[in-house]
Amino acid sequence: MTETFQPLQGIRVLDFSRILAGPYCTMVLGDMGAEVIKVERPGIGDETRAWGPPFVGGESAYFLCVNRNKKSITLDLSTRDGQTIVRELAAQCDVLVENFRPGTMEKLGLGCDALRGINPRLIYCAISGFGRSGPDKDRAGVDVIVEGVGGLMSITGEPDGPPVKVGVAIIDVATALHAHGAIIAALFERERTGQGRRLDFSLLEVQIATLINIGSDYLIGGVVPKRWGSAHTSIVPYQAFEASDGYVVVGAINESLWARFCEAMEQPQLLEDPRFATNRLRGEHRAELLGLVQPIFQKLSRDEWLDRFRGQGIPCGPINTLDEVYRDPQVEHLGIVQEVDHPSAGRIKLAGSPIRADDSQLPVRLPPPRLGEHTEDVLRDVLGYDDERIRRLS
């Protein structure tokens, strides 16, 4: 093991974000060593604190999963004292992240122009549902709505079923990862220019960007895509198949793998069938091919098929339930699940950072904070308030 990878050590982040996209972004920054100060509403805090069950030690599992490596302070932003503290903190911070509706911070006198007037080096990152301008700028933007508006739900689900959302708020997560990368790039740029940046991200734009080849099929070819379930739009076979006791995902992504797929299934005649001679032809005759191979899959168990396909070097895997995921030997070997002591919940398990550097994992330095747990510490250590001034603010 080498020294822990903490490239953002010394960077201070002022985090006004709630729910998922913003908190996930700032959590990643915290994982890499940044000091993250999470600003929450007194008595209420981040909405996800109440999003349960399950709860442990008075905290929701939802809140715990995206708020490690942060400190929590409570401020009433509608008051003069609260706004003054924000300005003083902004002067001492490198990055600010917020995901209020566009214009909210400006109405409080805490917008980008005002705070960068105090600290020109500040990198101000705003996340919204639909962007800071345009006819929909004031719409509330949550992941499932944007998945619908941005087309993701139209291509997700079984061909003969209704559109469905992805099982997790994937656009929130994708937005968080775009935002954290841009923040790091802006910090790098600041080393050359001495100036901060305003960064804006909308879930809608990230949703459009993540359509990748499906979006390109429409933009270039005019093809309005349909839902394919677990199947691929243009590669066949590349999907889940039902074995006798569960599901197997298999991907024959080239002609060599197609030949090995037929060998593993002990169906050499498929290689000789002119309908399936190329991937393009297999796509044109998808229904006929699937009608032939699906009954064969049901003759053997999931593990028997996996042994066959792995033996042929074919990309494959089971569709695991989460209890199977967390006891999978490879997941256990990687050690992504970490344990941390929480002040009210006791010892809890969290999925840690997937980032590795020189074989070193990023640690959970701080457990997800209790509401306002670090208010006095931040006022004292960052702003230099004495005990009497802190007492007057209480």
Residue entry with tokens 């032809």: 281
pLDDT at residue 1, as a whole number: 41
Protein fold of 238-242+247-318: formyl-coa transferase, domain 3 (3.30.1540)
Residue span(s) of the chain under CATH 3.30.1540.10 come to: 238-242+247-318
pTM of the model: 0.94
Q: Which residues are identified as catalytic? A: 172
pLDDT band at 394 (very low <50, low <70, confident <90, very high): confident
In angstroms, the Cα distances linking 158 to 44, 166, 227, 294, 394 are: 40, 12, 6, 16, 55
pLDDT band at 361 (very low <50, low <70, confident <90, very high): confident
For residue range 225-257, what is the model confidence (pLDDT) as tens digits? 999 999 999 999 999 999 999 999 999 999 999
Question: Which strand (E) or helix (H) includes residue 337?
Answer: strand 337-342
Domain 12-210+332-393 bears CATH identifier 3.40.50.10540 = yes
Q: How far is CA 158 from the centre of its chain?
A: 24
Q: What is the mean pLDDT of the chain?
A: 96
Could you tell me if 19 and 99 are in contact, meaning their C-beta atoms sit under 8 angstroms apart? yes
d(CA 349, CA 65): 9
